[in-house]
Chain A
Amino acid sequence: MHHLALYLHFVKLRIRSQMAYRLSFVFDLFSQASISVIDFFMIALLFNRFKELAGWSLWEVGFLYGMIGVCFAVAEMIGRGFDVFQNSVMRGDFDTILIRPLGTFFQVFSQDFLLRRVGRFSQAFIILLIANSQLTISWSFVKVGYLLVSLVSGTCFFIGLFVIGATSCFWTVQSIEIINIFTHGGTFMGGYPFSIYRCWFRHFFTFIVPLACVNYFPSLFLLEKVASSGVSSFGVYLAPFAGFLFLSITVLFWRWGVLHYQSTGH
């Protein structure tokens, strides 16, 4: 509880400091939203010409797109501390974190809060809402719960990726840029049904980097496409937990990484 109160206090401080540059904040908000609006508009253009993608209609794909977009936006908003962690290592600021009487993970996690991702979040959320109104999803108590768990799990998945990127800084000082493939690339590829990808590609993004588990499999369940996709329904029930598992593993990796930290010095 103490941690939560502290975290909320930190968030309040970060928001206040970001609001200091109000005009730049508003501009950023709009540019974020405009990029993603154009992004989805282009998908819509393709559907206008081709009608369907591997048996998925535009708004079914919109559902996928909205789900992954919401997860990524929230993850970027709250997991920002890990995303920019390389600066702390480069400047040697991590030393300060080590001598404070709080866990390192919590401190880095609470170091930043990127309010301007609200722009991206709302765009993805609106697409999700429109998709829902265009499709006839029979919402039940179970489905709503399942959706919420999936969204939280997806957010955990992306934060886990940021944690991997941050942990690698203990060895490489600079963040490994390859992680962008999984974060930005993951959001991009997650917006399309996984059935269009080759086998090896699908397996990689299910079992090693569990992107499909937090987005595609949940959508199959929610849109009642499990039977036609040939995926086992048992697997679909378990899938959303992959995000939590992934984050837990990356936290262990983080703890192990901290032991290897060598200060760049002050």
Chain B
Amino acid sequence: MRPLYLTFHVYLAFVRKSFQKRMQYRVANLAGLATNFFFLLVHIFVYTAFYAASTEPQPLNLNEIITYFVLCQVSFMLMPFWGARSEVTQAIKDGSVALQLTKPVDFHTYWFADEYGRACYFLFMRGLPTFLISILFFDVTFPQHPTVLMAFALSMTLAIFMSTAITITIFSSAFWTLDTSGVSGMSGSVIMLFSGMLVPIALWPEWLAHIAEWLPFAGLIDVPFSIYLGKITGVGVWTAISKQMMWTLVFIGLGRFLLNRGFSRIVIQGG
């Protein structure tokens, strides 16, 4: 096999294919958009009511909370909460992974490209419309300075990379369990909690926020959005981003290790 960097265009083609594949489901995407918007609306109602009753100053004001949840819905589908739905798990279960194995590609990179294409699709076709519509209806705040926006873009890109790496790590477990719905369900809920998807970490009690700090998952949601809101500034931005980078590499390494182990013990199901 040729080195990875020489065959980069091959994987880019996989990204594009994965993107195009999802373009088929337009109506489903519209329904998803409506669902995103519904949950956003309920979140905003809930927090507006909470803030109305409280007089104490909070770490995030209501506008910032609204912006946070808009961004949450924008990136909801890019996050690794959906491991079980991947067709890769299905491929391992029904044995069609055997066909994929005949391709002369690096598997981790191939699946990474596939998942990344999916993330790009949801970013542009689901996330972007959600954001644009939200601007019309709610008080969304914007970063004051272009450098903040750049830092956010970098951090968000890393978040998507990390999400992709985590997803592959989760469904690598299919080699051992065949049915990943349990594993991905449990990991999904832990990841969702500690990413800050449900409640911004700034509002958590200190002891719990401390645990989140030592886990990688805040890098998916809370870190990029805090950068966007200007809650992480200066050197803090660089520490946060390098932490994201480190964890992404860890998950890529772990995913590659699990895949290699999995392939060495694979028994193809069916025939």
A: residues with CB less than 8 A from B are 21, 23-24, 26-28, 30-32, 34-35, 38-39, 41-42, 45-46, 48-54, 176-178, 180-181, 185, 188-189, 192, 196-198, 201
Known: A24-B182, A54-B49, A181-B35. 11 other contacts (CB 8 A): A23-B177, A27-B181, A28-B181, A28-B182, A34-B190, A35-B189, A38-B189, A46-B50, A51-B53, A53-B50, A196-B45
Contacts of A48 in B (CB 8 A): 205
CA distance A196 to B43 in the complex (A): 11
- Any A CB within 8 A of the CB of B39: yes
Q: Would B53 and A54 count as touching, CB distance under 8 A?
A: yes
Contacts of A178 in B (CB 8 A): 31, 34-35
Contacts of B185 in A (CB 8 A): 27-28, 31-32, 34-35
Q: Would B53 and A50 count as touching, CB distance under 8 A?
A: yes
Asked whether A46 and B203 contact (CB < 8 A) given A53-B50, A188-B39, the answer is yes
Q: Would B179 and A180 count as touching, CB distance under 8 A?
A: no
Asked whether A27 and B183 contact (CB < 8 A) given A42-B198, A42-B199, A54-B49, the answer is yes
CA distance A144 to B190 in the complex (A): 36
Give the interface size bracket for B toward A.
35 or more
Q: Would A53 and B199 count as touching, CB distance under 8 A?
A: no
Nearest Cβ on chain B to A131's Cβ, whole angstroms: 18
Asked whether A45 and B46 contact (CB < 8 A) given A27-B186, A35-B185, the answer is no
Please report whether the interface of chain A is mostly helix, strand, loop or mixed according to DSSP: helix
Q: What are 24 contact pairs spanning A and B, CB under 8 A? A: A24-B179, A27-B177, A27-B183, A27-B185, A28-B182, A31-B183, A31-B185, A32-B185, A38-B190, A38-B192, A39-B198, A45-B204, A46-B50, A46-B203, A49-B54, A49-B58, A50-B51, A53-B46, A177-B28, A177-B31, A181-B34, A185-B35, A185-B38, A197-B42
Asked whether A192 and B46 contact (CB < 8 A) given A24-B182, A42-B198, A42-B199, the answer is yes
Nearest Cβ on chain A to B130's Cβ, whole angstroms: 14
- Any A CB within 8 A of the CB of B32: yes
Asked whether A34 and B53 contact (CB < 8 A) given A48-B205, A181-B34, A198-B45, the answer is no
